[in-house]
Structure 1
Amino acid sequence: MNRRVIIPPVSLPLLILLAFLVVIVFIFFSGVVIAAFGKLGIPPEVAFTLFIFALVGSLINIPIAEETTYEPVLALREVRFFGISYPVPYFEWAERKTVIAINVGGALVPLSITAYELLRMIYMGNFVLLFNTLIAVLIAALVSNAVARPVKGLGIAMPMLVPPLMAVLLGWILGDGNPNAVAYVSGTLGVLIGADLMNWRKIKELGAPMVSIGGAGTFDGIFLAGIIAVILV
């Protein structure tokens, strides 16, 4: 007997409403990002371009390394005895490869902004702020590493609110007249170093075919951590 699954068509008013909501969310989020970048001294047109790059780039992962591990797997082979076949289990070593990639929107775009802020501190001769920023990055990295957890088959996961809240606190304490820059740099580099780089040895043990730095679930960890931190400072 043939069974048919009938999916009711989506009405035109509902499609219009969904499109309207998407536009509203895009405008709101882009406005938040532009306002955050404005606090960092980035012009609105450049900030909007970076936002588009981050949005589109979140779908792009660039492979940078490949880790190979060997793990035992259970297999079966047949053994014949007096004409009767018996399945006999045995262990063999299987090769597993994990591709490590870096996400354009979730890692490279925040890193470019971080590099801009650090170079501007050096250019302006504000070495006290630069020193405070590096101390903030170290603290944020240690905290991120403490709360990050390797998830089998997925990658490195961490609570979304911990990095921005830590970055806000560090911006207030070590800001030295520019808490926004300290919050953003520590919020982005802290997650990148603490959650990803400090767990590099554990990545190959996760069993995932690909682990993306700043991609998928960690997009909010690196990119949004800096944005939220700047807004809250």
Structure 2
Amino acid sequence: MLLLPFILLAVIALAGLAAADVVGSALGLSPLAALAIYMAILLGGLINIPVYEFKSPGGTEPPMMPYPGARYKIPQWQGHRTVVSVNVGGCIIPVALSTYFALHLPLKELLMTTLIVTLGVYYFARPVRSVGITVPTFVPPFLSVGASLAALSIAGNGFADLARMTFASGVFGTLLGADILHLGSIRSIGSDFVSIGGAGTFDGIIVTGVIGTIIAAILTTI
């Protein structure tokens, strides 16, 4: 994760482009601001803010194990309280930045791409017992890049907004498809702690921004 922005700069340099111009045109941010936000997201990934908690349901009737001369119950998880938190780096900061981008994007195209990413991520997301909701890291970025390219091409708006569209739709779609729409599933996960935007979706959101910026940088300078 720490190497991703440097990989981005290397790709831009190999393409013979100026990093400052690329970041400025693709994201509408200065290189310093983009790096500061990236580091804030990484560090914020370590911070979770508890929102609410609920009593997790217990297991079913413990199965019996036969043993010579007797039958014994196998110990099972019987329920406890699960704390649901919001991750600062995987939810709060990306949502704030995506909202800022959304104010400068065509609304219809943004809604369409977000819907596509939401449905795709929801399909691939899986509740993992004692872990949370997980989604393959590269599903959100490729879905958001593909959907954004298609939407902007159909609308004939060019690719100037590609990086911002990719990031915003990737963040909104990932959080909706992986976390929000799976809130009902977390009751059966059996975990003491669940983080919205945390492990399982955090990587996808980071990679979405980096890959979207790389592709947008290349396309907008061709």
Q: Scaled by the length of structure 2, what TM-score is found?
A: 0.75
- For 1:104 and 1:92, locate their aligned partners in 2 and report how far apart those are by CA, in whole Å: 34
Which one has a larger percent strand, Structure 1 or Structure 2? Answer: 1
Q: Report matched runs for 1:34-49 at 5 Å.
A: 38=24, 39-49=26-36
Match of 2:99 in 1: 115
Shift of 1:53: 1.1
Question: Larger relative CO (CA 8 A, sep 6+): 1 or 2?
Answer: 2
Residue 61 of structure 1, aligned match among 31, 41, 48: 48
Structure 2 residue ranges without an equivalent (≥5): 11-18, 64-69, 217-222
Post-superposition Cα deviations, 1:112-160, rounded to whole Å, max 9, x if no partner, equal 1101011234xxxxxxx21111111011100100011111110111111
Q: CA deviation at 1:215?
A: 1.7
Looking at structure 2, the residues matched to 147 and 113 of structure 1 have their Cα atoms a distance apart, in angstroms, of 25
Once the two structures are superposed, the pairs formed by residues 42-121 of structure 1 within 5 Å of their partners are 42-72=29-59, 74=62, 89=73, 94-121=78-105
Query: 1: CA distance between counterparts of 2:6 and 2:40?
Result: 17
Superposed, which structure 2 residues align to 1:1-233 within 5 Å? 25=3, 28=6, 31=9, 38=24, 39-72=26-59, 74=62, 89=73, 94-121=78-105, 129-175=106-152, 176-177=157-158, 178-233=161-216
- Relative to structure 1, the CA distance from residue 209 to residue 52 in structure 2 (aligned partners, 3 Å threshold; closer, same or farther) is same
Write the letter of the residue equivalent to 2:92: L
Contact 2:82–2:193 (CA under 8 A) maintained in structure 1: yes
Q: Which moved more, 1:144-153 or 1:178-187?
A: 178-187
Confirm or deny: 8 A CA contact 2:134 2:199 kept in the other structure: no
* Runs of 4+, deviation exceeding 6 Å: 90-93
Report if aligned partners of 2:140, 2:208 keep a CA contact under 8 Å in 1. yes
Secondary structure of 2:80's partner?
Answer: strand
Equivalent pairs: percent with the same residue? 34
Structure 2 contact 118–172 (Cα < 8 Å) conserved: yes
How far 1:105 moved relative to its partner?
Answer: 1.1
Helix, strand or coil at the partner of 1:52: helix
Q: Would you say the 8 A contact 1:67–1:98 is kept in 2?
A: yes
Return 90-99 or 196-205, whichever deviates more.
90-99
For each residue in 1:53-104, what CA deviation from the matched residue of structure 2 results, as whole angstroms up to 9, or x when unmatched? 11211111111121212314649xxxxxxxxxx9975999944211111111
Distance 1:131 1:97, change over 3 A: same
Mapped to 1, the partners of 2:132 and 2:109 lie a distance apart of 31
Letter matched to residue 148 of structure 2: G
Count, aligned residues: 194
Question: Are the equivalent residues in 2 in contact too, given 1:101–1:210 (CA < 8 A)?
Answer: yes
